[in-house]
Amino acid sequence: MEQVLFLITIVSSFVFSGRCSNVYNYSRNDFPEGFVFGSAISAYQWEGAADEDGRTPSVWDTKFHSTSGPEGYHKYKEDVKLINDMGLDAFRLSISWSRLIPGGRGPVNPKGLEFYKSFIAELKRHGIEPHVTLFHDDLPQILQDEYGGWLDRRSIDDFTAFADVCFREFGESVKFWSTINEPNIIALIDYGSLVNCTPPFGVANCSTESSSSAPYIALHNILLAHASASRLYKTKYKDKQNGSIGITFYAFWMIPLTSSEEDKIAAQRNKDVLLGWLLHPLFFGDYADAMKRTVGKLLPSFSQEESNLVKDSSDFVGVIHYQTFYISHSETRDLIIPTGNSTLLELDVFPRGLEEVLEYIKQNYGNPPVYVLENGTPSHHDSSSLNDVGRVEYLGAYIGAVLNAVRNGSDTRGYFQWSFMDLFEVIDANYTYGLYYVNFSDPQRKRTPKTSAFWYSAFLNGTQQELKNLSLSPSPGFASQ
Ligand SMILES: *[C@@H]1O[C@H](CO)[C@@H](O)[C@H](O)[C@H]1NC(C)=O
Ligand SMILES: *[C@@H]1O[C@H](CO)[C@@H](O)[C@H](O)[C@H]1NC(C)=O
Ligand SMILES: *[C@@H]1O[C@H](CO)[C@@H](O)[C@H](O)[C@H]1NC(C)=O
Ligand SMILES: *[C@@H]1O[C@H](CO)[C@@H](O)[C@H](O)[C@H]1NC(C)=O
Ligand SMILES: *[C@@H]1O[C@H](CO)[C@@H](O)[C@H](O)[C@H]1NC(C)=O
Ligand SMILES: *[C@@H]1O[C@H](CO)[C@@H](O)[C@H](O)[C@H]1NC(C)=O
Ligand SMILES: *[C@@H]1O[C@H](CO)[C@@H](O)[C@H](O)[C@H]1NC(C)=O
Ligand SMILES: *[C@@H]1O[C@H](CO)[C@@H](O)[C@H](O)[C@H]1NC(C)=O
Ligand SMILES: *[C@@H]1O[C@H](CO)[C@@H](O)[C@H](O)[C@H]1NC(C)=O
């Protein structure tokens, strides 16, 4: 998805001015051998072709009725060439469930199958490792209508059957599977009202507020669906296909606004929920006591069998990180306040936040393998974004934060920038994250590299450059089609 700052009352809304130039004191060669650099898209936001070749609507089609986007379904070959020219090791994509299995369950759509096979084969042919997310928020509308999506346990079997098709059909080529994108955000946004007692947007005392159990039930079922697909992979495919399977989660970093004891406790309470809600069951087979205390009777419990299924069901953790917030205790509802001058358009550059998230995973969950599967910053979606020096500054700082964490022992193995090109952004389509600019009114949907594309390519090639030298000057050999 992208960052979800929109959810929060923006407390400060200044605009950045006078950015400094940056020569980062590291290069790609400082990363361990085998560390992968990539970029990412998701099916709904990139493909277009919503009603072509047998695809049926997903919940996102119903919500957004979007016809604007880069039309990747028709341009994937061209895009793989750009991906290759940039020098990426890996590329994160997702499968549209309703393109592959238009009925939600049952028959496979041959055209959908063919599309993903060709797209993945094209990546492989160029030596690019596909990291495939099975579910990136685009639930088939037909399943939403039938039983309310993740609120119903039938979603577990349907998801597992969808995963089975993907493992069987694409598993020879795909070595990295993420089951479900940002379950904590799906639970909060799709199933939480965000007004009652829904963490992490101000966790206070849930036992005293009237609130809904829906987000907790949805996340519980998502965990079981993930674990069920993971078990299937491990019993039926892993020996032959030799891949690994994990899940992603959305991770703000959160720091106490003041040094008061109350604020410290509040920050930890919000971490226990936003980060621990998903991670604790994955590594320990149950929700953490802190989570149980905060959420109280609204939180479902695991049977012994479910607990065994969920525990150790992820070979790696996929981290999605955009920004850091201050947390301030309040009797009714903790306040969350962006650091720096963050607004919807301009994220504060606070790279220590990502480093802290990676440290937190290392220190609290036994240092599992991690992939940062999304990190990036938005800019206004028009041609003024071509000279996106602010994005270069952001990416350079956050990649440096990953290096710091790796050097301090984090088992982080890859970094994926969001997003490879401008996509249809579901939060606010006027703000996009791409390394490539795409004019969605242009029938050709021409892809034009931004300064950040040149910078990332130079970084990947081991030739870090001064920012001021980069502005719209392609490095040698880099295709700017
Ligand atoms: C770069 O400099 C920063 C700030 O001095 C430091 O924290 C970081 O460890 C340095 N990185 C490398 C790779 O030397
Ligand atoms: C929440 O409120 C209940 C009932 O008033 C109280 O017993 C409990 O201690 C409170 N919990 C926290 C974390 O403040
Ligand atoms: C499986 O993958 C690991 C590392 O990714 C590699 O060392 C091993 O040789 C592979 N095994 C097979 C059977 O391909
Ligand atoms: C926020 O913006 C103000 C005004 O432009 C600037 O003086 C200040 O340094 C900025 N703060 C941060 C943390 O970037
Ligand atoms: C580095 O790791 C150690 C051990 O986990 C931890 O105590 C320390 O705080 C970490 N340093 C930083 C800068 O995060
Ligand atoms: C995006 O910008 C257009 C034109 O400026 C405006 O009409 C539209 O309301 C904006 N969309 C959002 C979601 O703000
Ligand atoms: C986008 O494309 C439309 C249609 O071709 C064109 O009218 C418009 O000027 C383009 N916008 C930019 C910023 O290039
Ligand atoms: C960047 O530009 C400056 C002059 O503006 C020049 O001295 C320097 O060598 C250039 N650096 C690179 C890496 O091209
Ligand atoms: C990578 O760098 C080498 C020289 O260091 C240069 O010859 C080559 O063209 C560069 N490739 C890209 C894609 O920039």
Minimum CA distance residue for ligand 1 atom 5: 25
For residue 22, give both structure tokens.
């940056």
**In 39-140, which ranges are continuous DSSP H helix?**
43-47, 59-64, 72-86, 97-100, 110-125
How far, in Å, is the centroid of ligand 4 from the Cα of 322? 19
Asked if 433 contacts 454 with a C-beta cutoff of 8 angstroms, the reply is no
Give residue for tokens 């621990």: 276
Q: Which residues line ligand 6 (CB under 6 A)?
A: 428-430
Stated pTM of the model:
0.88
| Residues noted as catalytic | 182, 374
- Cis peptide leading into 200, omega within 30 of 0? yes
Q: Are 244 and 316 in contact (CB under 8 A)?
A: yes
Give yes or no for residue 208 CB within 6 A of ligand 2. yes
> What are the extents of the domains in the chain?
34-450
**Per-position pLDDT tens, the chain of length 481:** 454 433 333 222 222 223 333 457 788 999 999 999 999 999 999 999 999 999 999 999 998 877 789 999 999 999 999 999 999 999 999 999 999 999 999 999 999 999 999 999 999 999 999 999 999 999 999 999 999 999 999 999 999 999 999 999 999 999 999 999 999 988 887 776 544 444 444 444 444 444 678 889 999 999 999 999 999 999 999 999 999 999 999 998 999 999 999 999 989 988 998 899 999 999 999 999 989 988 888 899 999 999 999 999 999 999 999 999 999 888 777 778 888 776 656 788 999 999 999 999 999 999 999 999 999 999 999 988 899 988 998 999 999 999 999 999 999 999 999 999 999 998 788 899 999 999 999 999 999 999 999 999 989 988 765 555 554 444 444 444 3
180 contacts 132 by C-beta, under 8 angstroms: no
Name the closest ligand to CA 467. Answer: 8
Which ligand does the CA of 478 lie closest to? 9
Ligand 8 pocket residues where CB is under 6 Å: 465-466, 469
12 in contact with ligand 4, CB cutoff 6 A:
no
Go through 274-310 and write b for each residue having 16 or more CB atoms within 10 A of its CB, e for each that does not.
bbbbbbbbbbbbbbbeebeebbeebbbebeeebeebb
DSSP letters, 4-41, are -GGGS----------PPP---S--GGGSPTT-EEEEE-
DSSP helix/strand/coil, 365: coil
Residues 34-450, CATH architecture: Alpha-Beta Barrel (3.20)
Residue 162 Cα distances to 209, 233, 315, angstroms: 38, 12, 20
Q: What's the rounded Cα separation, in Å, for the pair 275 and 282?
A: 11
Residues 6+ away with beta carbon under 8 Å from 366? 283
CB 323 within 8 Å of CB 353: yes
Q: How far, in Å, from the CA of 411 to the mean position of ligand 4?
A: 34
Residue 461 CB–ligand 9 contact under 6 Å: yes
Distance 468 CA to ligand 8 centre (A): 8
CA of 404, nearest ligand number: 1
Pocket lining: 441 vs ligand 7, CB cutoff 6 Å:
yes
User: Are the C-beta atoms of residues 334 and 269 closer than 8 Å to each other?
Assistant: yes
Question: Of 82, 51, 79, which is closest to residue 65 (Cα–Cα)?
Answer: 51
